[in-house]
Structure 1
Amino acid sequence: MDIRYLSNFLRVVAAGSMSEAARQLDLSPAAIAQQMRALERELGTALLLRQGRSVRPTAAGERLFERGRALVQDAEALRDWTITEENEGELRLGTVNTALHGFLPDILQAFTLRHPSVKIALRIGITPDLYTALVQSELDAALCLKLSFDLPKTVSWTPLHQEPLVVLTHKRDARRDPLELLRNGPLVRYDRELAGGKLADRYLQAHGIQPNERFELNSVMAIALLVERGLGVALVPDIGQGLASGDLCKLPVPPVPRQSESLAPPPRELGILWRNRSPRVRWVRTLMQCAQDVLAAP
């Protein structure tokens, strides 16, 4: 069995479409379809049911999908153990934007001092996409938010730190009540489709605040720039030094009222997801140690 065909089959099932899988793999839909037919001929059974432009696995396809992920990971690990030198190679790391704009540069600096010959390939994305890439063996580790479901045995989670909500405002308002600022000032809102934006929205609801919205953005750093220009206030996760600025001020938020504790958002937790079977696990452990050292520094 051609392991590439099996890997592409996993991508087709995950995407639910041959054309989408082909786009992700930079192949033609015809090439993907040919590979799927070859795989079905070799196994002597249908693996996919075509439904217009979408596909779904047959019962046999579901069994292959379940076992195939481990086979692809094992094949990749065997290849990498064969060709990768002890202190040379590439670590494929995913990261959320807030970490990239916060403490990740310090972590990468510490890591490269220990492994100067290891190349790091960074992929930026949201946590669900990074998790999917990880389980499909496209990443070795991901610096992301804690997931709300149980992880498979092949994936581990190491928590690093929590990011409390803070009010961002211009330094001229540094002595004002943060709740007053959120009630009365124009709000530069963090995108409610993102985890941090959802937490901020729940906090506002718990305090009964209906803000005067001016902007809604999906980047904490872009929000910080607008607030620094005096265009409003913001309620965002504290990503650390990335929010340090001469005209920008961070104010801690008061706890939610007791009668609204059921609406209180849980703290946002960041950590590292990593594949147990990755041949680069020794580098992932070094990365985790560097992260813990950086975050523990005063």
Structure 2
Amino acid sequence: MDTRQLKTLLAIQSHGTFAQAADLVGLTPSAVSQQVHALEDELRVTIFDRTKRPPRITPDGLQVIEMAEDILRRAEDAKASLRGDQIAGTLMLGSVRSSALNLLPRAMVQMRGRYPDLKPSLRVSLSSTLIADVAGGRLDAAIVAEHLGIPNTLRWSPFLREPLWLIVPRGMEASDPIELLNTRPYIRFRSAVPLANLIDTELSRLGVVTNDVAEIDTIGSIVTGVRQGLGISVVPHVALQEPEDLNIMRLAFGVPQVTRQIGIVERTAAPRAEIIALLHAVLADLCGDYGVVRPTRS
């Protein structure tokens, strides 16, 4: 097994056929087929079901694809390290699908501008999946909210500590937040993420009984609903960054005002620790007044 075979395999997976992959890697379709057969013989698995047209990847083949991606990334990183390019190679990142995702693309663009040899790759998923992928080495790091299920082999470092706001459409008479929550139509954030549980827990602690007019699973859509006058809701500060959000009134949510944290989870012995630390610093800077500086390691 060599990296040429693995690159050919990924080309087939990416482009769908042996012929298209052959054009990409500069081989004939026959040579591509020979490489795949050699790889199957060495690994003693069937990577493609050739009874289908075009051949389809098998369950064993999917595992080989994952292995190939990991080997090629490690090889690229090793070459960069030997050349002395510390900030280079592929950085495999994950992120939850939340308002924090607004920050990560901006941070990735900044990192790419400063370190042109660095190739960030982003995957969006659930917190539990991302944490498992970081622990298993399938991701270098992931952006997740404060989470109780982080094993001791991982380290979570917050870069954002932000307040939650009760947001009210412009023109609605503002009064006591508790009164508003008890009397006005309420848009509930309904999602299996820590933020939704944090909001619901504080509503319960305050003794509030909301008049739910909608249940929505994305913070951005909730902000839009409030902006258009559908009702009031609770969102994190980072969700209110667009110019049109200036027309939304904000009142402190909770007594005292509730905050939430988002951070980077990585392995305690992370091989890309230097790059992850730089990414943390960029994210904290983008968070402005609510950014959390990472403590310097001793």
Q: What TM-score, normalized by structure 2, do the two folds share?
A: 0.65
Pick from 53, 58, 63 the counterpart of residue 28 of structure 1.
58
Between the aligned partners of 1:31 and 1:254, the Cα distance in structure 2 is 51
Structure 2 residue matching 1:230: 3-state secondary structure: coil
Structure 2, unaligned runs of 5 or more:
1-5, 7-55, 291-298
What per-residue deviation string (whole Å, max 9, x for no partner) do you get for residues 38-78 of structure 1?
xxxxxxxxxxxxxxxxxxxxxxxxxxxxxxxxxx9x97885
2:215 is the alignment partner of 1:216: yes
* Distance in 1, Cα, partners of 2:62 & 2:140: 25
Once the two structures are TM-superposed, the CA of residue 120 in structure 1 deviates from its matched residue by 1.6
Q: Counterpart of 1:8?
A: none
Name the CA shift for 1:30/1:91 in 2 (closer, same or farther; >3 Å).
closer
Aligned partners of 1:242, 1:216: CA distance in 2, in Å?
22
Corresponding residue number in structure 1 for 2:225? 226
Corresponding position of 1:171? 170
Structure 2 residue 116 is the aligned partner of structure 1 residue 116: yes
Distance in 2 (CA, whole Å) between partners of 1:30 and 1:274 is 28
- SS state of the match for residue 204, structure 1? helix
Cα deviation for residue 105 of structure 1 reads 4.0
Residues in 2 aligned to 1:174 and 1:80: alpha-carbon distance in whole angstroms? 59
Contact 1:81 1:279 in 2 (8 A): no
For residues 114 and 259 of structure 2, what CA distance do their matches in structure 1 show?
32
- Quote the offset at 1:277 in angstroms: 4.3
Change (3 A) 1:76 1:158: farther
How far, CA to CA, are the matches of 1:203 and 1:146 in structure 2? 16
CA deviation after TM superposition for structure 1 residue 110, in Å: 3.2
Cα distance change on mapping 1:243 and 1:129 into 2, 3 Å = farther
Given that residues 77 and 90 in structure 2 are in contact (C-alpha distance below 8 angstroms), is that contact kept between their aligned partners in structure 1?
no
Paired position in structure 1 for 2:134 = 134
TM superposition shift of 1:194: 2.1
Match of 1:285 in 2: 277
The alpha carbon displacement at 1:293 in A equals 2.5
Q: What SS is found at the alignment partner of 2:287?
A: helix
Q: Is the 8 A contact 1:167 1:250 kept in 2?
A: yes
The structural deviation recorded for 1:169 is 1.5
The 8 Å contact of residues 76 and 90 in structure 2, kept in 1 or not, is answered as: no
Task: Quote the Cα distance in structure 2 between the aligned partners of 1:121 and 1:77.
Answer: 11
Query: 1:79 aligned to 75, 80, 84, which one?
Result: 75
Q: Deviations over 1:126-168 (max 9, x none)?
A: 2212111212222111111122145233x22212222332112
1:19 aligned partner: none
2:265 maps to which of 270, 273, 290 = 273
Q: Conserved in 2, the CA contact under 8 Å of 1:77 and 1:279?
A: no
| C-alpha deviation, 1:30, in angstroms | 6.5
TM-score, with length taken from structure 1: 0.65
Give the equivalent residue in structure 2 for 1:99: 100
Equivalence for 2:41: none
- CA shift, 1:243, in A, is 6.0
Aligned counterpart, 2:196 = 197
Q: Is 1:238 matched up with 2:237? A: yes
Shift of 1:232: 0.7
State the SS of the aligned residue for 1:113.
Answer: helix
Deviations 1:218-261 (A, max 9, x none): 111110011111001112333254365143222212407xxxxx
Aligned partners of 2:265, 2:167: CA distance in 1, in Å?
Answer: 29
Q: Say which one has the larger Rg.
A: 2
Structure 2 match to 1:250: 250
Number of residue equivalences: 230
Aligned to 2:160: 161
Task: Verify the 8 A CA contact 1:93 1:140 in the aligned structure 2.
Answer: yes
Which whole-Å CA distance do the structure 2 matches of 1:269 and 1:89 have between them?
29
Secondary structure at the residue paired with 2:238?
A: coil
Cα contact 2:202–2:254 (8 A) shared by 1: no
Native 8 Å contact 1:224 1:243 kept in 2: no
